[in-house]
């Protein structure tokens, strides 16, 4: 057997506990890999079915889905399947120039007016363009600057650059299945989460 250092160890020197531990861990891994492979097939087959439904909707003149989002129900309304696509806004390198222009305007305002207003805007711009823990800009904070009604040419030029730098990209897609146990109850999601599959053990009565 191979130990944690990558060195071969003759089986006769491996304890019974270590052999049992190794075998059990590998069986669990094999089950997870098999389940993962099956779930990937479930997803692929489900997306293929939704694609057929989307094409049928289009042929029936009901193609009202938006940006890949789709929600359909069974004929009796008891089962609902939906796919939701999230889109993310990304900013390109023009954001660097936009930040510089906004900072210049804020600094000029702070120098000209003094007091708290100019300094507050300077801090606001600096905070908006600070990278998050992941190293990316907070698009929401940057966009909040664009909503400020400032007529100064530098600010307007910066807003124009930010507007041009925006790119919408397709993010994660989520497939959701819900079913009503009966017509008197709300739909219950079918969760493919292993945490929901934990066996319920009955308490042993003394």
Q: Where are the domains of the chain?
A: 1-64, 90-166
* Nearest by Cα to 177 from 198, 164, 193, 156: 193
Q: Is the pLDDT of residue 11 over 80?
A: yes
Q: Is the pTM of this model over 0.85?
A: no
**Inter-residue contact 83 to 69 (CB < 8 Å):** yes
Mean pLDDT of 128-154: 82
Best-predicted range by mean pLDDT among 11-20, 60-69, 137-146? 11-20
Neighbours of 72 (CB within 10 A): 16
Contact 188, 179 (CB under 8 A): yes
Q: Check residues 127 and 33 and name the one with the higher pLDDT.
A: 33
Q: What is the pLDDT of residue 141?
A: 84
Residue 31 scores a pLDDT above 90:
yes
Residue 99 CB contacts under 8 Å (≥ 6 apart), including other chains: 125, 129, 158
Show the tokens assigned to 99.
Answer: 């930040």
User: Among all chains, which residue has been given the structure tokens 């939906």?
Assistant: 82
Identify the H or E element spanning 89.
strand 79-91
């Amino acid at each position: 057997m191979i130990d944690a250092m990558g060195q071969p160890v003759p089986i006769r020197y491996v304890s019974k506990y270590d052999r049992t531990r190794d075998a059990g861990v590998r069986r669990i891994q094999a089950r997870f890999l098999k389940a993962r492979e099956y779930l990937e097939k479930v997803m692929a087959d489900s997306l293929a079915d939704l694609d057929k439904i989307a094409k049928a909707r289009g042929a029936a003149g009901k193609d009202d889905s938006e940006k890949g989002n789709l929600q359909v129900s069974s004929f009796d309304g008891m089962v609902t399947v939906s796919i939701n696509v999230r889109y993310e806004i990304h900013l390109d390198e023009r954001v660097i120039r936009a930040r510089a222009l906004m900072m210049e305007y804020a600094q000029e305002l702070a120098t000209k007016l003094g007091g708290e207003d100019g300094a507050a805007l300077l801090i606001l711009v600096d905070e908006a363009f600070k990278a998050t823990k992941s190293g990316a800009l907070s698009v929401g904070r940057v966009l909040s600057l664009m909503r400020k009604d400032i007529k100064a040419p530098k600010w307007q030029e910066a807003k124009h650059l930010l507007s041009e730098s925006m790119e919408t990209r397709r993010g994660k897609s989520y497939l959701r299945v819900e079913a009503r146990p009966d017509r008197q109850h709300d739909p219950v999601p079918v969760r493919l989460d292993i945490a929901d599959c934990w066996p319920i053990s009955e308490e042993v009565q003394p």
